[in-house]
Homo-oligomer: A and B are copies of this chain.
Amino acid sequence: MGVFFMIKFLNDYSEGAHPLILQRLAETNLDQQSGYGTDSYSEAARQYIRSAMKRPDADVYFVSGGTQANLLVIAALLKPFESVIAVESGHINTHETGAIEATGHKIEYVLGKEGKLTPELIAPVLVKSPKYHTVKPRMVYISNTTELGTVYSKAELQALSEYCKANDLLLFMDGARLAMALASKFNDLTLEDIASYCDVFYIGGTKNGALLGEAVVLLNPIFKEEFPYHIKQRGALMAKGRLLGIQFETLFQNELWLELAKHANSLAEEIADCCESLGFKFLTLPQSNQIFPILPANVRSELHKKYDFFDWQPIDDDRCAIRVVTSWATSKADVTSFIQDLCTLQKK
């Protein structure tokens, strides 16, 4: 008898990297390059990203992970007395060990709708008095896909962007799973749209087939001159920047990044469709590679014997929303197995 391994639907970073990335790392390995992101691969990756959004003016920086990108962007763009507005479920508010506050900034959090912010939710936060006695809201932080797997529509993002401009707020999109957002069948945004609506955003590599890395895209020109100082000061400047450049160059060649995300989304959709056909509800709309079906206890406990996933949020005494995550590396076979087991369990 062999060792038994659980099949993981826990997250989208359980494996290494897409094979093309490893191959490219090997091919370029002994090429001598200058450090700290000034290598030719990083430059090529920047050009790919600029072309993809038709913004030759954009500054692009590669950093190692999402929390690092978030704290870096927020600390670099805000003055000490300025705050950032987010949904309560926002990653910066829940799962970054206070990284934003550690840089000195208040997160003003409000309950979101489907994990999303709207101008209506932001408006009350802007009512402040007396002047100087309160923080000054200056940035809106959103995630796309959200932490609850939903995606922003073009109309929603446009409304947020216009509201931000009208209220002197910067709009920052956490794109740790931006590929999955753009690859979602519910999406009607282009990368070009995002670049025009946001002051800054990033494109996640870690959760989409890279070993590590997020590409921070800075559109608003007033922060460009100073941003590299912040990167170094926060310990986010990698000596071998080539490692990040090579990966993003590979991901953007032939739109590999979107292809990987489509794979992840389509497998999640299969599971979602199955859940729906079996009569299960969802915590939020299933729109990307993270879905949150609500399952009764007996079904959950049986599934847990064979599959790894998070029990996300209790709904009532019996039911709990679970989080199922697929990725570029998830196999069709594992998804088929999950669906079959789910159908069997529900029919009991």
Contacts and interface: CB of A to CB of B under 8 A. Distances in A.
Interface of A: 5, 8, 10-11, 13-17, 19, 22, 25-26, 28-36, 64-72, 75-76, 79-81, 83, 94-99, 101-107, 131-136, 206-207, 211-212, 226, 228-240, 242-243, 329
Contacts of A238: 64-65, 212
A206 B236 CA distance: 14
Given A235-B68, A238-B212, A243-B212, A29 B15 contact: yes
B29 A97 contact: no
A232 B329 CA distance: 26
Contact of A97 (B8, B17, B64, B233): B233
Contacts of A243: 16, 211-212
Contact of A14 (B16, B33, B107): B33
Copies of this chain, whole number: 4
A28 B16 contact: yes
Contact of A132 (B15, B232, B240): B232
Nearest to A239: B13
A236 B80 CA distance: 15
A291 B156 CA distance: 42
Contacts of A13: 35, 239-240
Given A133-B232, A134-B95, A226-B79, A237 B67 contact: yes
Contacts of A64: 64, 212, 235, 238
Given A25-B211, A64-B238, A102-B234, 12 more contacts: A15-B29, A15-B32, A16-B29, A19-B29, A22-B29, A30-B329, A68-B236, A76-B80, A98-B135, A99-B234, A106-B107, A234-B234
Contact of A25 (B16, B97, B99, B105): B16
A291 to B, nearest CB: 19
A2 to B, nearest CB: 15
A26 to B, nearest CB: 5
Contacts of A134: 94-95, 97
Given A99-B235, A212-B243, A80 B75 contact: yes
A5 B30 CA distance: 13
A281 B236 CA distance: 37
Contacts of A103: 104
Contacts of A207: 239
Contacts of A229: 79-81, 97, 132, 136
